[in-house]
Amino acid sequence: MNRTAENILPLPVHIAIVPDGNGRWAEKHGLPRLSGHREGVLNMMRMIQYISEYPIKYVTFYGFSTENWNRPEPEINGLFKLVEHFVDEQLDKINEKNIRIRHIGRLNGLPTSLQKAISRAVSLTAKNDGMTLGVAWNYGGRAEIIDAIAKFTADPDKPQPLDEKSFSRYLYTGDMPDVDLLIRTSNEMRLSNYLLWQTAYSEFYFTNVLWPDFGKKDIENALIDYSRRNRRFGGS
């Protein structure tokens, strides 16, 4: 742990990130939108490295939402190819860091090659016990709750009576704690159907920095800001 990390307390256990602004970054630099997405994917790897310097156990990135299917088909296909390339290029490095990858969302509906890439990443890193990296791909918060209800209904050993703790085990994030800190870049101030259940008592941190430009100092600023919050969870 670096000296700065030792001085930022308390730290969140689970960080969720909405890496927004890739398209605007590309436009700002006179590049096609896909170039912005490519730079955003590269920055995700850099951010994994930065965050791994802290004793933070869970990080979940919003990659592709159920609403993103409304984007132009060439952009969607380009995004899928970028993710497959990311897995091919970075999976071994992530595994060497003892990071466990968790897919958050629906695999059904994604291209077969992308499903295989995601499944390969999850399988290879399943026994790692370092940081858990959640990747929300083909994810929607409302869809997650609907899927959880379906799982609960079909479970012959469902708990009775049902409470919040037992219901949360049916979510995509059933083995992960709720989100402590949600970070969203590019000056967008909304949840966008992201981890609706898990962010009920999260601290939110919004920044106008575009995701490809969000760097080590920016994550440090977010963690410092979080450490100064007084989390009451409904108390006085």
- Residue 213 is among the residues annotated as catalytic for this protein: no
Beta 132-139 vs 100-104: how paired, if at all? parallel
- Ranges of beta strands (E only) in the chain are 14-18, 58-65, 100-104, 132-139, 181-184, 203-206
Phi and psi, residue 139, nearest 5°: -115, 145
- Residue 20 is among the residues annotated as catalytic for this protein: yes
- The SS3 assignment for 203 reads strand
- Catalytic, out of 68, 95, 128, 193: 68
Segment 212-217 long-range contacts (CB within 8 Å, at least 24 positions apart)? 212/21, 212/22, 212/25, 212/36, 212/39, 212/40, 212/42, 212/43, 213/25, 214/19, 214/43, 214/47, 214/185, 215/46, 215/50, 216/50
195-13-218 Cα angle (round to 5): 85
Q: What is the DSSP letter of 136?
A: E
| Alpha-carbon 229 to chain mean position | 22
- The SS3 assignment for 17 reads strand
- Catalytic, out of 7, 20, 22, 43: 20
In the β-sheet with 132-139, what is the strand arrangement from edge to edge?
100-104, 132-139, 58-65, 14-18, 181-184, 203-206
The dihedral region occupied by 204, where left means phi > 0, alpha psi between -120 and 50, and beta the remainder, is: beta
What is the set of active-site residues?
20, 68
